Amino acid sequence: MIERNGYLQQLIDKKENGMVKVITGIRRSGKSYLLFNIYHQYLNSIGVDDEHIIEITLDDDENIKYRNPIELGKYVRSLLIDPDQMYYIFLDEIQMVKSVKNPYLDDEEETVGFVDVLLGLMKKSNADVYVTGSNSRMLSSDILTQFRGRGDEIRVNPLSFSEFYAAYTGEKRDAWPEYYTYGGMPRVMALKSHKEKSRYLSDLFDKIYIDDIMKRNNIQHNKSVIDDILNIISSSVGSLTNPSNISKTFKSVRQLSISDDTVARYLDHFVDAFMISKAKRYDIKGRKYIGSPMKYYYSDIGLRNVRINFSQTEENHIMENIIYNELLIRGFSVDVGVVEYNYKDENGVNKKTNLEVDFVANDGGRIYYIQSALTISEEEKRLQEIRPYKRIPDSFKKIIIVKDNIIPWHDENGYLYIGIEKFLLDEKSLEL
């Protein structure tokens, strides 16, 4: 069993809190396993028997009847036999439940959906409800909003490097290259060869993610456009881009006219499916957000790599993507930092430029500035990385993460230098 102790603890902390626990994340990241195996075993360990754990997998054809919300609600309530005993209700892939016309009203627009079922179950004093889902927009709008603060989200990500490392059975020195090549989708760890891992990751795209997106958003055609946008994003991880730039790439490379709005809509679909995340640009001095362009990162680096046939394995971009994901896992909101810099050129003419900080990580007032650098073995490279830091007018912690396995150290400015594996394996590494 791959341990996912952080997520398990979140479930334990939220147990019987009167809210619906909404477990979200990209498909095949381990949401169902967390709930149906890890959490189920925990409940058993504290004395809850299986008769009081109700499990329904809604993407299973055996349960197709319960994609009708009326049938689902009726069935679950029929199992709540003992009013003095708590029942733990696990509903997997809740977005599979479709809205249907209310059969008791003549109003054609009156429908019943999964939210109605969950709201009804929440009123049962002996029901503790957990659902999983793979679409952020549907869940955030239908559950977290309509429940008016009574929906509690737990975001499950592909395996972090520390989770991967703990379960990795090979030589520990091989764990990092294995992870930055194939990522942290749990099933990948059970596969042996490059061919098996590559095929599995590729199948996730073609047979699950893209198919889901096209069905969910009623896209009849344009699969090739979806493929191309994903490939462009894969090639530009760590680079600023926007829908307009991607649209221009289509025109110049494929001689195909795709509007900015269409590209933006597809990008939003990828974000909703938890395939990618977008990091906005933040003006550090002005303390405000800057509009387009922004950066896009894959939720799993193996998914990014398979899109481009593992042909672009530059560790600097890969490191940046992995650091971004790790910061999200640790609960930070993460932006791309921009520092405006005014200077005079060799002719004494006033000039203005923007210096970039890879990440501004914020956790309720704790702010960290982070640069991802493959190496700083040359002094010129080190000075280039810390150049933006010297123009940030505050005392929040400034960190440079490098690929090399180094002993963490601070320079004369107080900036922390740390190796990537130390950062990823030690949750308290930012406090050094």
More confident residue, 212 or 344: 212
Q: What is the mean predicted confidence (pLDDT) over 184-212? A: 95
Task: To the nearest 10°, report the CA torsion of 92, 93, 96, 97.
Answer: 50
- 209-228: buried (b, 16+ CB within 10 Å) or exposed (e) per residue? bbebbbebeebeeeeebbeb
d(CA 103, CA 236): 50
Q: Tell me the pLDDT tens digit for each residue of 37-62.
A: 999 999 999 999 999 999 999 999 99
Residue 373 pLDDT exceeds 60: yes
pLDDT band at 415 (very low <50, low <70, confident <90, very high): very high
What is the model's pLDDT at position 147? 66
Average confidence score pLDDT of the chain: 92
What is the model's pLDDT at position 350? 87
Residue 216 pLDDT exceeds 90: no
Domains along the chain? 5-155 (3.40.50.300), 160-432 (no CATH)
Strand-pair category, 366-373 with 409-410:
unpaired
What is the model's pLDDT at position 137? 66
d(CA 37, CA 47): 15
Residue 151 pLDDT exceeds 80: no
Burial of 362 (0-12, 13-18, 19+ CB in 10 A): middle
What is the model's pLDDT at position 12? 98
Q: Tell me the pLDDT tens digit for each residue of 102-150.
A: 999 988 889 999 989 998 999 999 999 999 988 776 666 566 666 666 7
pTM of the model: 0.93
Least confident of 48-57, 264-273, 297-306: 264-273
